[in-house]
């Protein structure tokens, strides 16, 4: 994640050791060796259902070419991040995307790809870690996301992290709940947590 110093995102990069640490996870830059997990997860019908996207129907060789090209020349307003355990196991991904410097905001997406790490608090740890890092190291003022209206588990997680609903939207036959958190609300939430 390399950012030009002139942007509001200049500090949005991994910390000194190349990783952003949460309570139980680390966030790091995507690497080429993540390709096998990413291909498997994007080919998984259950995960595709949660993302409201079609199941990946592409030969691995073609996927690898696209993946490599994206790593060599990443899009400026999209920063994918790998989620790993402290022992280095890649368990999912999160992405800050649609970064708009004029509006001072970014959209967040998260996926715990490894099913053995779901419903154990890892997703909440990731979201809290991203919120803290974005508001502590950039001048962005708002993080927003969308989640399928039936995905109550995700909505509960995001609510625990300080997100609040602000609307709904329909797209491609799917209904989404829109949620957001801003810098001020995040700082109030942190100052209200005496346990750190």
Q: Which residues pair with 53 in a beta bridge?
A: none
Task: Report residues of the chain scoring pLDDT below 70.
Answer: 1-18, 190-196
pLDDT in tens, 83-138: 999 999 999 999 998 988 889 999 999 999 999 999 999 999 999 999 999 998 88
Give every CB contact of residue 153 below 8 A, 6+ residues apart in sequence.
119
Measured distance CA(82)–CA(103) in Å, rounded: 26
Token readout for 84 is 């790993």
pLDDT value, residue 13: 52
pLDDT, residue 196, reads 39
CATH code of the region 19-192:
3.40.630.30
pLDDT confidence of residue 4:
38
pLDDT of residue 187: 81
Burial category of 155 from C-beta neighbours within 10 Å (exposed 0-12, middle 13-18, buried 19 and up): middle
Please tell me the predicted confidence (pLDDT) of residue 37. Answer: 97
Which two structure tokens, joined as six digits, stand for 12?
A: 């949005």
CA–CA separation, 21 and 133 (whole Å): 10
Cα 13 to Cα 79: distance, rounded to the nearest angstrom:
10
Tell me what pLDDT residue 77 has.
81
Going by C-beta distance under 8 Å and a sequence separation of 6 or more, which residues neighbour residue 124? 157, 160, 161
- What is the Cα–Cα distance from 152 to 55, expressed in whole angstroms? 22
Q: Which of 79, 77, 119 is nearest to 98 (CA)?
A: 77
């Amino acid at each position: 994640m390399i950012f030009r110093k002139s942007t509001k995102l200049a500090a949005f990069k991994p910390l000194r050791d190349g990783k952003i640490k949460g309570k139980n996870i680390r966030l790091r830059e995507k690497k080429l060796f993540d390709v096998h997990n990413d291909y498997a997860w994007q080919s998984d019908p259950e995960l595709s259902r949660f993302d409201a996207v079609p199941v990946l129907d592409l030969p691995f060789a073609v996927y690898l070419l696209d993946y490599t090209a994206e790593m060599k020349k990443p899009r400026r307003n999209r920063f994918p991040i790998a989620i790993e355990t402290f022992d280095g196991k890649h368990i999912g991904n999160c992405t800050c995307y649609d970064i708009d410097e004029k509006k001072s905001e970014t959209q967040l997406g998260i996926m715990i790809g490894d099913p053995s790490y779901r419903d154990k608090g890892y997703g909440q740890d990731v979201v809290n870690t991203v919120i803290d890092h974005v508001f502590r190291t950039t001048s962005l003022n708002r993080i927003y996301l969308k989640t399928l209206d039936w995905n109550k588990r995700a909505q509960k997680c995001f609510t625990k992290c300080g997100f609040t609903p602000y609307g709904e939207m329909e797209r491609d036959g799917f209904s989404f709940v829109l949620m957001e958190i801003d810098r001020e609300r995040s700082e109030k939430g942190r100052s209200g947590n005496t346990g750190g």
